[in-house]
Chain A
Amino acid sequence: MASPPSPPLLEIEGLCVSYATAGGTLRALSGVSFRLQPGEALGLAGESGSGKSTVALALLGLLGPEAALSARRLRFGGRDLLSLSPEERRRLRGGAMAIVFQDPFTALNPSLPVGRQVAEPMVFHRGLAESEALAAAIGLLHQVGIPRPEVVARSYPHQLSGGMQQRALIATALAAEPELLILDEPTTALDVTIEAQILDLLESLRRSRRLSILFISHNLGVIHRLCDSVCILYAGEVCETGPTKAVFRDPAHPYTRGLLASLPRLALGSRKRLSPIPGTLPDLEKPPPGCLFHPRCPYGDKRCGEQSPLLSSPGPERSVRCWKAQEIRGVAWEEAAGGNGRPAARGDEPADQAVAPLVIVRDLRKRYRLGGFWDALVWEKPGGQGWPRPAWEPKFLRALDGVSLAIAAGEVLGLVGESGCGKTTLGRTILRLIDPDGGEIVIDGRAIARAPERELRPVRRAAQIVFQNPDSSLNPRKTVGEIIGRPLERFRIASGAGLRRRVGELLDMVRLAPSYASRYPHQLSGGEKQRVGIARALATSPRFLVCDEAVSALDVSVQAAVLNLLEDLRRELGLAFLFITHDLSVVAHLAHRVMVMYRGGICEEGTIAQVLRPPFHPYTEALLSAVPRIDGERARIRLREEGPAPEFAGRGCRFQGRCPRLLGEICRTVAPPVLEPLPGHRILCHHRLETLAAVASPIADEAPPPGA
C-alpha cells in the first residue's frame, strides 16, 4: 500500500481467546496478529471453525463473560482497547467501529420499523433528536440504494427482501460514520446476483467515504473481489497474510494452497480434478503439538510435528507461518498431495444420446396456493356497483411451470437457479416426494407421474436422493450402520451377515472406514455425514441420483473431496445425476449439461461449454457475471432486485421483472420463443440470436493456472 507509513487504524498482536469447557480449555484464537491501515480493506478468510467471527466480536468487546481474552496489543485509532472502560467500549461500538452481521433477517429486530433501527446510532452516538435522526436515516437508506426510502423506513423487516434487509443493516452501520466497518459474512445468506449488488455497494461506499474495512468471509472469490490484502486463518491461527493478488497468485502456506486447489473454477478449460485437503480441523481442546496444520499437511515433516512454526516473510508485505515456506515454492499442492492432477470428468462422455434416456420429464407442473383459505377471499362489486360480494380467488405460486428434461445414464445434468426458483421442488417431484399437478415422469422406462405408491417400489429402488443439510439428513438416533442398512432391508437386498458386509462395502465406496458403522451421526464431521448420506442413497444400487445442493453446506476443502467422490461414483457405476445447486462453479466443474431455472421455468439449457459461452440468455449472463471469482472477471451485469411484486402471472417472459436487456412490451405479453443456436442449446428469449451472441463473455475461457 502507501509508502508514507501512516499509523495503522487497527493493530492486533497476539490475540488469544479461550473458553473453559468441561474437558479443559478450548483455544478459539491463539496469537492472532494483523494490522489494518486507514482506508484499507482487509479480508479475513477461513473455513468454519477458524475463529474469524471471534476476532470481530473480540474487537467489539462483545464476547461475553465466558470468554477469556488476552493480547499483547489491541489498538484502534491509537487507543488501547484493553484499557478502556466498558462504557468507553460501548461508545466505540456502533460509533467509530461498526459491524454488519451475516444473516440480515435475524440481525434486525422484527418488531421495530426499519427506519428507527437505522436511526438509533445517530441518536445515541451523534446526539441527534429522534426526528432528525429519522430524516437522516431516510437519506442513508437512499444512499445504500434502497428505492422509496420513506416507505421502507416505515416498514418492518419481514416486509423487505433479503438484499434490502442487508442494505438497511449497512445503512445502520454507516449511521454513526464509523472509521472501521466490520463485515461478517455479509453476503453469505444472499443469492449470487444480490451478493454482487451488495459488493458493488460496499466498493462504492468504501471509495466515497474512505472507509476502512475488515471483511470476514469463507468465500475467497468475494475477498478477492473486494480486499486489498488478506489474512488466512486456520484453527485460530494466522497462517498467511499479504496483498490479496499476490497471495492468491502465489500462495506460500500449504493451507492456502490446499484451499485454492480445492476450489472448483468457473472458467472453461481450467477444469481438472480437485485436490482436497485431507482430514479435518484439529480438536481445539486438545490441539496437536507443533504446527496446527501438520496432521493434514502433505509437505510436513518431523520438525513440523514438534515445534510450532514461526512467521517468516516470503515477499514484500507478506508473512507466512510455515517452516518450509521457502523449500516448497514450486512444489504444487497437487503434486505434494499425491493427486496427479488427472484431467477432469469430461474425458469419458456419457452414453450416447441416441440411446433412450434414463430419465425423461415432460411438461411437469406444480403450483401452490399462497396463503390460507381466508387470504383467498376477496370482496368485489360485480360490475363495479351494488353490494360487494365475497369471491374465492386464491393466488398461486407456480413452482414448476412446464419443465421438461432428459438425462442419459452416466450423465450429470446440472440445474442452477437462485433460491425460490423451484429447483428443489423439481428434484423432489421427479422422485414423487411431491405429487405433480400435471406432466409426465418416466424413470427407467416406467411412467410414474400418477402411479400409486405401491407401484413405485422398483423406481424407489432405482432412483435415490442426496440432501443438502448433513445435520438434518441422518436420523440422530440411529447408527450409521442402521442408516445405511435400512434400504438393504427394506428392498430385501441383504440381511444378517450379508447386510453387514454390504454396509462395509458401501462405507468403503464413500471412503469411510468400516468402524464407522457403529457410530452415531453426531460423532461425524459434516463431510463424513454427507458421505453417509451418499452411501445410504447408493445402498439400493440406484441408476439415478438427485443431488439437492449436496455440497453447498460444506467447507471448500471438504466439498472438493465430496465432488471428487461423486465424480468417481458416476464413472464406476454409470450413474445418472440431476445435480441441483446455486453454485455455478460447482456445476461447471461437474456437469455435462446445464439447465438454468428461473421462477419455475427453464430459460436456458445446453452442454456446459454451450451455456458458458455466448450467446447467453440474459439471466445466465447476469448470473455468470455476478459470481465472485479469484481468476479475473470482465463485464458486469447487475440485476434489479425484485420487490415483493406480484408473482409472475403466466404472461410473457418469466424474467421480465428483472431483465437487464428487456425489449419492451413484447416481453410482458408474449411468451418468448425458443432459440437454438446449436443442437441441444436452447435459449428462451425475444432477442435475436445475433444480439445475444454479440455480448462479451463475463468469464475468461482460459484461466491463468493458479498456484504458480
Chain B
Amino acid sequence: MPAGPPEPGARRRLPGNLLAGAALVLVIAAAALVGPWVAPFPYDEFHIRDRLKAPDAVYWFGTDEYGRDVFSRVLAGSRISLFMGVAATAVSLFCGVALGLTAGFFRGRIDEWLMRLMDLLMSFPPVILGLLILAVTPPSLWKTVLAVGIVYIPAIVRVTRSVTLELAQEEFILAARARGENAGYILFREILPNAWPPIIVEASLRVTFAILLGAALSFLGMGAQPPSSDWGLMISEARSYLDQAWWMAVFPGLVMCLTVVGINLLGDGLREWLDPRLRHGGA
C-alpha cells in the first residue's frame, strides 16, 4: 500500500513543493522515456564539420568536440541518470528494509552485529566506497548501480530499524503477540504498512544522492564509459574544453540540477504530507 492516507475525511491540501517537485520529475521522466524519438540527432552521431559549435537554432545546447549534439546527449543522459537513481535506490531499499526490519524486530545479538556492520560500511566516505567497489572490476553501468546501492544501504537500515523499534513498542503489536501471531505476520502485516511513510521519504531523498554519486563516479572515470552520454561523464569530458565550449559542461550540469531539485522537492513535500504530527488529526 502506498503512503497516502486513503481514508475519506482526512483530505489535506497537498504541499506546493510536492506538486512542483512532482511536475519537474514528471517532465524529466517523460523526457527520459520518449527521448530517443524526439531528440533531433542520435546521441552518438558525429558532425565533424560542426565541432564545438555554440548553441544555435540547430544545436540548441551546442555541440561537443566531435560535433555531437549536446541537447540530444543530455536527453539521452536523463535515462541513464534516472535509471541509476531508481535502480540503485531499489537495491538499497531492498537490502536495507530487510536488514532494518530484522535488526529492529529481533533486537539482541543480530541487531548488534548488523549495526556494527553498518557502522563499518558507514565509516567509508560514500565516494570512496563506491570507487573501491568499482576498482575491483572493470567499470560498467550495472556495477555502478550496485556500488551506489550498497553505499546507501546503511541509511535505509537506520531509518527502517528506528521505525521498527518504535512500532514494536506499540500496543497493537503486543495484541498481535497475545494472539500468538508469528514473526512474519507481525513484520509484514502489522509493522511494514506503518513503517512505509518514513522509508519512502528517505528513499526519495536517496534517489538524488544516488544520481549525484553515480555522476561523481562517472566524472572520476569509474562509472559510465565513453561514448555513453552520462551527465557526469559529459561534464568530465567537457573539462578539457572549458575555455572554448562552456556549454558542453553547463547544460548537462543544469539539467542534472533540475532533476535533483525536482526529486528533492518531491521528497520534502512527501515528508510534510506524511508528517506524523498531522497524521492523527483526521478524527
Contact = CB atoms under 8 A, between A and B. Distances in A.
A contacting B, Cβ–Cβ less than 8 Å: yes
A188 interface: no
A471 B174 contact: no
B172 A473 contact: yes
Given A471-B280, A473-B175, A475-B190, A456 B170 contact: no
A475 B172 contact: yes
Interface stretch (B26-34, B85-93, B177-185): B177-185
Interface stretch (B8-16, B76-84, B115-123, B254-262): B8-16
B280 A490 contact: no
A456 B175 CA distance: 15
7 contacts: A460-B178, A467-B175, A473-B172, A490-B179, A522-B280, A522-B281, A540-B179
B1 A477 contact: yes
A98 interface: no
Nearest to A473: B171
A472 B282 contact: no
Given A487-B179, A490-B179, A477 B171 contact: no
Interface string A452-464: 0100110010011
Contacts of A602: none
Interface in B156-195: 170-172, 174-175, 177-181, 190, 193-194
A468 B179 contact: no
Contacts of B170: 472-473
Contacts of B172: 472-475
B178 A465 contact: yes
B49 interface: no
B10 A433 contact: no
B283 interface: yes
Given A465-B178, A472-B172, A475-B172, A525 B193 contact: no
A464 B9 contact: no
A517 to B, nearest CB: 14
A55 to B, nearest CB: 23
A433 B169 CA distance: 12
A480 to B, nearest CB: 12
**Secondary structure of the B contact surface, majority rule:** loop
A477 B280 CA distance: 11
Contact of A523 (B1, B7, B181, B190): B7
Contacts of B179: 460, 486-487, 490-491, 540
B277 interface: no
B109 interface: no
Contacts of B180: 453, 456-457, 460, 490
Contacts of B281: 522
A536 interface: yes
Nearest to A283: B283
B171 A467 contact: yes
Contacts of A367: none
Q: Which of B7, B10, B282 has the most CB of A within 10 A?
A: B7
Interface in B184-212: 190, 193-194
Nearest to A474: B172
Contacts of A487: 179
A520 interface: yes
A464 B10 contact: no
B7 A520 contact: yes
Contacts of A520: 7
A565 interface: no
A7 B168 CA distance: 57
Interface in A521-542: 522-525, 533, 536-537, 540
B174 A465 contact: yes
Contacts of B177: 433
Nearest to A520: B7
Interface string A473-487: 111110000000011
Nearest to A477: B193
Contacts of B280: 471, 476, 522
A522 B175 contact: no
Interface of A: 22, 428, 431, 433, 453, 456-457, 460, 463-465, 467-469, 471-477, 486-487, 490-491, 520, 522-525, 533, 536-537, 540
Interface in B1-57: 1, 7, 9-10, 12-13
Contacts of B1: 477
Given A460-B178, A475-B194, 15 more contacts: A433-B177, A433-B178, A456-B180, A469-B171, A472-B172, A475-B172, A475-B193, A476-B194, A476-B279, A520-B7, A523-B282, A523-B283, A525-B283, A536-B175, A540-B179
A28 B281 CA distance: 16
B11 to A, nearest CB: 8
B184 to A, nearest CB: 13
Contacts of B181: 490
A637 to B, nearest CB: 35
Contacts of A486: 179
B136 to A, nearest CB: 37
Contact of A522 (B13, B178, B194, B283): B283
Contacts of B279: 476, 522
A150 B211 CA distance: 58
A404 to B, nearest CB: 22
Nearest to A519: B7
B192 to A, nearest CB: 9
A334 B162 CA distance: 50
Contacts of A537: 175
Contacts of A428: 174
Contacts of A431: 178
Contacts of B175: 465, 467, 473, 533, 536-537
A445 B59 CA distance: 86
Contacts of A475: 172, 190, 193-194
Given A22-B13, A460-B179, A475-B194, A522 B174 contact: no
Contact of A477 (B10, B13, B174, B194): B194
Contacts of A477: 1, 193-194
A491 B179 CA distance: 9
A524 to B, nearest CB: 7
Nearest to A463: B178
Contacts of A464: 178
Nearest to A523: B283
A533 to B, nearest CB: 8
B200 to A, nearest CB: 14
A42 B193 CA distance: 48
A649 to B, nearest CB: 28
A469 to B, nearest CB: 6
B283 A524 contact: yes
A531 to B, nearest CB: 14
Contacts of A467: 171, 174-175
B106 to A, nearest CB: 14
Contacts of A463: 178
Contacts of A473: 170-172, 175
Nearest to A468: B171
A525 to B, nearest CB: 7
Nearest to B181: A490
Q: Which of B1, B178, B181, B279 has the most CB of A within 10 A?
A: B178
A486 B190 CA distance: 11
B283 to A, nearest CB: 6
Given A456-B180, A522-B280, A433 B7 contact: no
B12 to A, nearest CB: 7
Interface string B90-103: 00000000000000
